[in-house]
Amino acid sequence: MAMSNLRNQIRNLPAAEKFELLDALWESLEADELTLTDAQRDELDHRLDQYERNPDEVVPWEQVRAGYAGRASRHRQRAQN
């Protein structure tokens, strides 16, 4: 499938389905081995450093993900009304 065709299909999805797609893409990326650039590795090291110094200021991934799921649910409800 051509990338432009895929992008058009994504644009036409309701917000709730876009969130579901985003979640599926994220999970597929987690399964892949990624090669990081030096800049990306430095940024991750910096963020880990910040977390280790101030662990209470970090928002856990589960909370972020739940926020997206909640938004998707609200969008789904609005679309059905």
Confidence of residue 1 (pLDDT cuts 50, 70, 90): low
pTM beyond cutoff 0.85:
no
Q: Is 9 part of a structural domain of the chain?
A: no
The rounded mean pLDDT for the chain is 86
Q: Is 41 part of a structural domain of the chain?
A: yes
Whole domain around residue 45: which residue ranges?
14-80
Q: Is 44 part of a structural domain of the chain?
A: yes
| Per-residue model confidence as pLDDT tens digits over 22-57 | 989 988 887 777 788 999 999 999 999 999 999 888
Q: How many domains, the chain?
A: 1
Q: Is 51 part of a structural domain of the chain?
A: yes
Q: Is 2 part of a structural domain of the chain?
A: no
- Per-residue b/e over 17-26, b at no fewer than 16 CB within 10 Å? eebbeeeeee
Q: Is 6 part of a structural domain of the chain?
A: no
In contact, 69 and 19? CB cutoff 8 Å: yes
